[in-house]
Amino acid sequence: RSEQWCNTTYRTRNKADTLPASPISRGAGGVGDNMLRSNTKLLHLPFRRFWSNATGNSRRQHRLAHNQHQHPSSLTHNRCMSTKNHEIIQMLPPRFLRQSSTQNYDQSTHQRLDVHFDINNGKPPSQPIEKTNTHNNDYYSIRHCMFDDAENKWIVTWNDDEISTFSNDWINEQIQKWTGRQPQNNESYDAGVVKRVHWANLTETHVRASNSPLSLSFSDVVSGSGEQQAAALRILYRYGILLVTNTPTDDGGEGVAALAASVSGGSNKKDCVDTSLLGWYQQQQKQGGKEQTEGRPVTVLRDGTDGPLRTMFGNVWSTHSSDMAAGASIADSAYGNGALPLHTDMTYFRDPPGLQIFTMVSPAAEGGKSIFADGFAAAERLRIADPTSFNVLCTTVRRYRSIDDATGWHLEARGPVISAVNRKNKEHLWGPVTAIRHNDLDRLPDLPPPPSCGTFDTTWKKEQEEFYEKLQIAHSKWDEILGSDEFRLVMDLQPGDTVLVANQVRC
């Protein structure tokens, strides 16, 4: 089968079924992901989900693709008067609030103005600034604060009579980012703060249903209003996966690139067609024609500020089981006909893609289904079922590698299988999961930490054995969860079907 894709997934492929020799797939270079997929070869876990091409031979897909906080002494109950729960703003340190005040930022560049340095040479002060306002604890003391219900904002008066205002939405957002707490269904969290949803037992019927929250049309996402683009982003953040139907498959990947621009923070100046790929694409569609650039599809603009990222495979590229373009990097099991286990892509990148886009161009006559899994849901199941194994996969740094002798690429990176917020306390050692890095085919053999005693003696041998034993148990538990049908979404993608996978939620 044939796919187009761009980096923005996790995939895996099944060996049971076979794909014809002609299938192809196209993909686009990356915006980032957390899905496990299987083609059973598409398993992208960097953000939260896995996907996989579930069946085998010639899977030619065109892959386009809370800690407790002590209330600041300077912000007491009698100083914070409002119908709003004052404990919300009290969660944030006064020093952080003062430094975040708009008065401390250039409103055009959004850079800080309260940084001290010599404006002639950029050097820091020659003498410590100990007596300036910003180093005076009284400077960070709050005299009074109140909540403006009409404007939904906090008004803070400092001891030096300066006044700062903070929207309640911003306060809640900062608390969520800082503590890793999920939004609750109460007034303490604004509707704009999206709560992530872990899923399991999801079927293709659910995804394709007319009332499905996981499916949108290509025209809505690329050519629709800003609200429709925002809807796509909410779906991706909430579920980590989105099906986009009716994606063009005969334009050399221009549609896929425009889709990448639309969901990856595209330029707001859509009328600036020299810098906005999305704007350029929309203009071409309105004019009913296509601007030719030396006869090649336009998937990147010279001065572009949006669109897919370029990787060793390209920015928008196709994967075929055969007949790849001369010079293309094909040193990857994705280009074979066999099944693949669930995995996340590009684990050998220091920063794996957070969003990946896969568009089916030409499906296999037989087999070649795609399998996806919610990596975050799988990790949470492991946390509940075996906290020790969860901790092992959070703390063990594993190495991943990709070598392409033909093109000269040799990439290595390292990281834990599960990345989570480190609570740094005994009660909640790990907070929410933030990313998954998992591809056994690219993973190098594991090495234990160097000997704690500094010598390779009998104690070191015992430490080795304990390391490998714990890691083997944890890996087996992880595989057991990934192999459960409960976590495997099997999709029979058709031409024009595009799956977007979001894998990273780091701020």
Tell me the average pLDDT across 35-61.
37
CB 172 within 8 A of CB 193: yes
Q: Which residue from 402, 294, 295 is spatially nearest to 352, judged by alpha carbons? A: 402
**For residue range 201-220, what is the model confidence (pLDDT) as tens digits?**
999 999 999 999 999 999 99
More confident residue, 495 or 332: 495
pLDDT value at position 395?
A: 95
β-strands 489-491, 370-374 pairing: antiparallel
Q: How confident is the model at residue 75 (pLDDT cuts 50, 70, 90)?
A: very low
Confirm or reject CATH 3.30.2020 for domain 77-179, answering yes or no.
yes
Nearest to 256 by CA among 477, 496, 22, 504: 496
For residues 25 and 495, what is the distance between their CA atoms, to the nearest angstrom? 10
Confidence band, pLDDT 50/70/90 cuts, at residue 41:
very low
Position 453 pLDDT exceeds 70: no
- According to the model, what pLDDT value does residue 11 have? 35
Strand partners, 32: 354
pLDDT digits (tens, 9 = 90+) for 121-146: 999 887 766 545 555 667 899 999 99
Tell me the helix, strand and coil percentages in the chain, rounded to 5. 25, 25, 50
Angstrom distances, CA of residue 496 to CA of 23, 111, 400: 14, 43, 33
The answer to whether 157 touches 144, Cβ cutoff 8 Å, is yes
Evaluate whether 333 touches 327 at the Cβ level (below 8 Å): no
The mean pLDDT of 83-110, rounded to a whole number, is 87
Under 8 Å between Cβ of 318 and 4: yes
Q: Which ranges of 325-430 would DSSP assign to H, the alpha helix? A: 375-385, 387-395
Spatial distance between the Cα atoms of 421 and 178, rounded to a whole number of angstroms: 10
For the cut 80, the answer to whether the pLDDT of residue 276 exceeds it is: yes
Closest CA to 195 of 213, 209, 212, 211: 213
HEC secondary structure over 61-80: CEEECCCCCCCCCCCCHHHE
Structure tokens at 448: 């234990």
pLDDT at 82 over 80: no
Given a cut of 80, whether residue 281 has pLDDT beyond it is yes
Region 478-488 average pLDDT: 97
The whole-angstrom separation of Cα 499 and Cα 484 is 22
pLDDT on residue 431: 84
The H or E element containing residue 180 is none
DSSP single-letter state for residue 197: -
pLDDT at 325 over 70: no
Please report which helix (H) or strand (E) contains residue 487, including its range: none
pLDDT reported for residue 376: 95
Q: Measured between alpha carbons, how far is 35 from 42 in angstroms, rounded to an integer? A: 9
Least confident of 42-56, 285-299, 467-481, 492-506: 42-56
Mean pLDDT of all residues belonging to the chain: 78
- Count CB-CB contacts under 10 A for residue 168: 21
* Cβ–Cβ under 8 Å, residues 60 and 23: yes
In the DSSP assignment, the letter for residue 471 is: H
Amino acid 365: pLDDT:
83
Say what the pLDDT of residue 157 is. 94
Q: Which element (helix H / strand E) includes 128?
A: none
Q: Is this structure's pTM higher than 0.85? A: no
Instruction: Map out the domains of the chain as residue ranges.
Output: 2-65+197-374+486-502, 77-179
